[in-house]
Amino acid sequence: MLWGSGQPEPYAFSRERSVRRGLKFAVMGGSVAVVLGIAAAPVIAASTEICSEEICISDAWARATPPGAETAAVYFSIFNKGRSADALLSASSSVAPNAMVHRSVQTRGVVRMEMMARVELAPGAHVTFAPIGYHLMLAGLKQPLAQGSTISVTLNFVKAGKLTLPVQVLGIAASGPK
């Protein structure tokens, strides 16, 4: 499947910025924990991160879509904090009948999308879903994704089972959560 010429050119998510963001959260979490006590820390984490016992998903976002668009891509980060391997198998969403795990590969300026039967998550692995790379493709959108809204996506893992996460819809040209 080729990226349609009518779609905005996707561009790479800034790894440097995502690292800085992580540091900022660590500092914030630390200062809040000092004020409110250790028990407050998980509450802070829950607003940006959804965790099972071993899998954490953070920073889920999507771009707003123009009227009539039938597809949208969803991005997030997965961390396997457990001691055993897991794998992402499939996904679903209330806003579209089809949710597929894809990978974009750019070759000589052309972006191709491949279906992924599974995405392996080794113990300790961080896997980032971002423009030009892994993404969750929603197909058959029931209505456009509106900037500022939140949609719900469920990811299905071999071991962790189903994890449902809120996905913030950013601007149509966004490159990631700020």
In the complex, the residues that contact Cu ion under the rule CB under 5 A are 102, 113, 137
Yes or no: say if 136 and 74 are a contact pair by the CB < 8 Å rule. Answer: yes
Residue 124: CB atoms within 10 Å: 10
- CB of 48 closer than 8 Å to CB of 59: yes
CB 117 within 8 A of CB 137: no
Rounded least distance, CB 136 to Cu ion, Å:
8
Q: Rank residues 3 and 25 by Cβ distance to Cu ion and give the closer one.
A: 3
Q: Which residues pair with 92 in a beta bridge?
A: 154
Burial class from Cβ neighbours inside 10 Å (0-12, 13-18, 19+) for residue 35 reads exposed
CB of 128 to Cu ion, least distance (A): 15
Which tokens in the block code for residue 117? 């039967």
When the beta carbons of 79 and 129 are compared against Cu ion, the nearer one is 129
Smallest separation, CB 135 to Cu ion (Å):
6
Task: Give 136 or 170: the residue with its C-beta nearer to Cu ion.
Answer: 136
Cα 149 to Cα 11: distance, rounded to the nearest angstrom: 22
| 20 burial via Cβ count (<10 Å: 0-12, 13-18, 19+) | exposed
Report the DSSP pairing between strands 161-170 and 55-63: parallel
CB 53 to Cu ion: min, Å:
30
Q: Which is nearer to Cu ion, 49 or 134 (CB)?
A: 134
Distance CA 126, CA 80 (A): 7
Please say which residue, 87 or 113, places its beta carbon nearer to Cu ion.
113
CB of 62 to Cu ion, least distance (A): 12
